[in-house]
Structure 1
Amino acid sequence: IAISLLVSITVIPTLTTLLIRLRPGEAYVPGILHRTIMRPLVIFGESTARAYARTMKFLLAQGPRHTVMKIGIVGAVTGLLFWSATILPERDYLPFGNSNMVFMFIEPVAGVPVAQNMKYIAEFEKELTRMEDVDDNFLVFSDRFNGGGGIIKPELASGQRGEVKMALKSQEMGQRIFKIPGYRFAFASQRPIFQSASKTFGIEIVGPDMLKLKQTALELIKKITGTPGVHSVRPEFKFGNPELRMIPKRMNDARLKMGIPEIGDIIESLNAGKYLGEFNDRGDPIDFIFVQKDQERLGLNDYRNLPVWTEEEMMTHLGHLVDIEVAAGPARIDHIEKERSIKLLVQVKKAQPMQTVIEQVEKNFLKPVRKTLTEEFGLRVGGTADDLASTEEALLSSFFYAVAFIYLLLVALFKSFIRPFIVMLTVALAVSGSFFGIVGNNILQRHNILGILKDFNAPNPEALVQDWNWITFDILTQLGIIILAGIVVNNAILIVHQMLNNIRSGMDERKALELSCQTRLRPIMMTVITSVCGMIPLAFGQGVGTELYRGMGTALIGGLSFSALFTLFLVPVIISLITDLGIHTRKADLVKDSLAGGPPPPASSAGVPAQ
């Protein structure tokens, strides 16, 4: 932009002087292209200019009827702005992309050997190798990760057909591995291009009672799984490990003066050994640890019949002090800020905005569950949801800073607070236009996707395409709206600045505004048309990586088009309405005495407030 500014004020005027040589009074003769091939376009442009001039002459006329009509136009556009915010898709995080890998997540039942898990999935592995559209596949079973993936042939995964193909392939593989026995859960999902763009948010449950956390987590898994837009719900905990659970018999313990610490020391000594202290043997420290003599594995009855001596030299058995149960416990216990926690990972479908699913889960499930929990328990949405909230907050702050900075620059340029405010209204028009552009492109692309689904013989294609958002309101799309703030104000600046120049030359205020609209129509339309044409490949391109920026391109096209269309009408109408209300812009307000070459011209009417 900086280089183009230097070129426009240096190189362009020089080339114009060299290439266009007109003598004083000489008329410009159109070239051969304008007289032949481009003639229909020239006629259309001239007709449009004449129609626009007649329309503005009518709208900017003075009178009570015209004033009411201007108020109606401003009100209608304001209503349109508010309505556009209601049809916008919900917010999303980073674009998902279109990688050619389908990732499979498999969680075996605790205690099942790896060889047995491999045996369960061996038949599906053979199916993967026989699939014509799968280029390669892999399977991994380890302590940290269990799963695999299928790599689709790159030529089948490119473009819009490729995105639909990957969505159907993910669904196909997910349905197949879900039927494999021997696993706690299994699902397949297309791999995102960004690690943080996996469209997965977490639900964090914290509290002191691990069993209560487990019960709450299992209830939420059952409820959230059927929510529209949810691909899968998987826990980050394992409760398959067998354990002996010892529950104190408090009445017996109190009678024998045996507390939980004493019972805990006994059990610890039997299983892991109990550190008693340190003995100094001639300067050499020796640790004393109380351990079981034979290190034999104890059975359930061995624990119950274990003799225990109290401080009062009374003998009892461990089974008299505690109830011993065989249960399943967690493989590990996670903590959030020193509190025990269980985390659920909710995978959102690729075509669904993550914010929509988060709001549904929060409203329908988390709020009712919170009412059943005591104060010592906590339940919140975290993970990617926190990243989305913080990033949106930063973008919103950047947007407001950009708007405020532009407004202050315009105040310095126009030496007024009202005229820059009129120019800044185009930013609201651009934001609204970007919303319409996103919604319109989604409607257009759903029709194309429906045809592709039918070509692939997908079951129930109408239901699949109903909620398919080709353009999501992700972070890059929101960044495009911020970029719009610095672009769209140029059109309004042209109209307002030219009107002020006309007034300085002595022209009547209304005539100056009308002439400004007529003379600025061509440069505004030239700028907008070239900018929109430059953004078309960004919004509708089918090459590799275009899925990242099509939201930004769509927002820019919609914002530029909508803003330019309404700027040509709304800005002049607002300026004329302000004039009708008695706030005038006079030559005496714009030209200083030293520049006017004499005394200031008399005011058109006494007592008229100036802008």
Structure 2
Amino acid sequence: VLGNTAADLKTRIERLPGLVDVEATGQNNRSNRITEIEHVNGQRGVYVRASLNQGHRLGDATEEVVKVAKMVLPDGVRLELWGDSALSSHVLGSFAGTLTLSVTCMLLVLILPFGRLLEPMVVGLSLPLSIVGAMLALLITQSDFGMISLIGLIFLLGLLDKNALLLMDYVNQLRRAGLSRTEAILETGVVRLRPIIMTTASTILGMLPLALGFGAGAELRQPMAVAIIGGLLTSTLLSLIVVPVLYSLLEDCWVGLFSGIALRASQKSEVRSQK
């Protein structure tokens, strides 16, 4: 049963677009039948291998193979992904933990120079701006969402962090110089616009050759460049608006929260003194 199932699965995979050089272990090329069965972790198994053709994405090909396997495999036989497909699934599964750890470490470091939680909170809430742009760019260009593009997302977090810090640090400098919060925010938008645009433009221009597929092995690095360019375009434009708005709203909430706590504490002390 296992041999016939593996042979049937191999035949169906050969018909899928984007997969070439499909072969199964223990196959007799003359009869196209599985004549040898291997053992994997004490269980009988057959390896079916295939190479991905140029211009096709690994994720799409894996989904098609899984769909075909569900139609072919009988009860008692299961499919396990190995090779690049398994590695891609493992990377996507562990990325959430890696991303959470990266953001947490970054926010903890930001507490040291500012001495309060307001600025790190603004940075943390503005981080999704880059992820939205990166996902849209990958979707529009039909690029593969895998390990390389995930590296680009982590790279984007540091760039957006830099832009938000430039804005909030200058706002705090102007407020210490005597300007009101609104005046400081408006002045910061004018003064910091040029350096933010210039650094973003230089990074995008540096990534263009990779995004366009120039150079040897560019297909491997192309998704990373596409994700970085898309994330930079959206995060740079939106951060100039979203970061000042978040800064104002969170500071008002911050002041209101501590004012309420101080008011309740004073009321309790007055009640105790009257008693």
**TM bucket, shorter chain:** 0.7 to 0.9
Q: Structure 2: which amino acid aligns with 1:234?
A: E
Distance verdict in 2 for CA 1:226–1:382, change over 3 Å:
same
What is aligned with 2:54? 350
Distance verdict in 2 for CA 1:548–1:239, change over 3 Å:
closer
Residue 504 (str. 1) matches residue 176 (str. 2): yes
Question: Matched residue of 2:216: which SS?
Answer: coil
Q: Distance between the aligned counterparts of 1:563 and 1:490, measured in 2?
A: 11
What is aligned with 1:233? 22
What is aligned with 1:530? 202
What is aligned with 1:484? 156
Distance verdict in 2 for CA 1:348–1:240, change over 3 Å:
closer
Question: 1:338-385 CA distances to partner (integer Å, 9 max, x unpaired)?
Answer: 2222221233332222122222332x3333445x323xx443222332
What is aligned with 1:365? 68
Root mean square deviation of aligned Cα: 3.1
Distance verdict in 2 for CA 1:514–1:386, change over 3 Å:
same
Distance verdict in 2 for CA 1:551–1:226, change over 3 Å:
same
User: Alpha-carbon deviation of 1:225?
Assistant: 3.4
Distance verdict in 2 for CA 1:404–1:492, change over 3 Å:
same
Distance verdict in 2 for CA 1:541–1:334, change over 3 Å:
closer
CA contact (8 A) 1:240 1:329 kept: no
What is aligned with 1:432? 132
Q: Distance between the aligned counterparts of 1:558 and 1:329, measured in 2?
A: 47
Q: Distance between the aligned counterparts of 1:541 and 1:360, measured in 2?
A: 26
Q: Distance between the aligned counterparts of 1:351 and 1:546, measured in 2?
A: 12
Matches within 5 A, 1:235-314: 235-239=24-28
Question: 1:449-478 CA distances to partner (integer Å, 9 max, x unpaired)?
Answer: xxxxxxxxxxxxxxxxxxxx5x43342232
User: Alpha-carbon deviation of 1:524?
Assistant: 1.4
CA contact (8 A) 2:13 2:19 kept: yes
Matches within 5 A, 1:137-152: none
Q: Structure 2: which amino acid aligns with 1:561?
A: L
What is aligned with 1:384? 84
Q: Structure 1: which amino acid aligns with 2:23?
A: R
- Give the structure-1-normalised TM-score: 0.38
What is aligned with 1:519? 191
Q: Distance between the aligned counterparts of 2:153 and 2:45, measured in 1?
A: 39
Q: Structure 2: which amino acid aligns with 1:366?
A: A
Q: Distance between the aligned counterparts of 2:185 and 2:106, measured in 1?
A: 23
Question: Matched residue of 1:488: which SS?
Answer: helix
Unaligned runs of 5+ in 2: 264-275
Matches within 5 A, 1:106-145: none
| Largest Rg, 1 or 2 | 1
CA contact (8 A) 1:233 1:345 kept: yes
Query: Whose strand fraction is larger, Structure 1's or Structure 2's?
Result: 1
Unaligned runs of 5+ in 1: 1-211, 243-327, 443-468, 590-602
Residue 218 (str. 1) matches residue 1 (str. 2): no
Q: Structure 2: which amino acid aligns with 1:411?
A: I
What is aligned with 2:101? 401
Residue among 248, 252, 255 paired with 1:576? 248
Q: Distance between the aligned counterparts of 1:561 and 1:384, measured in 2?
A: 31
What is aligned with 1:416? 116
User: Alpha-carbon deviation of 1:582?
Assistant: 4.7
What is aligned with 1:543? 215
Give the % identical residues: 27
CA contact (8 A) 2:25 2:34 kept: no
Q: Structure 2: which amino acid aligns with 1:226?
A: R
What is aligned with 2:237? 565
Q: Distance between the aligned counterparts of 1:544 and 1:227, measured in 2?
A: 28
Question: Matched residue of 1:340: which SS?
Answer: strand
Q: Distance between the aligned counterparts of 2:11 and 2:29, measured in 1?
A: 18
Count of equivalent residues? 260
Distance verdict in 2 for CA 1:534–1:378, change over 3 Å:
closer
- Give the structure-2-normalised TM-score: 0.79
Q: Structure 1: which amino acid aligns with 2:69?
A: L
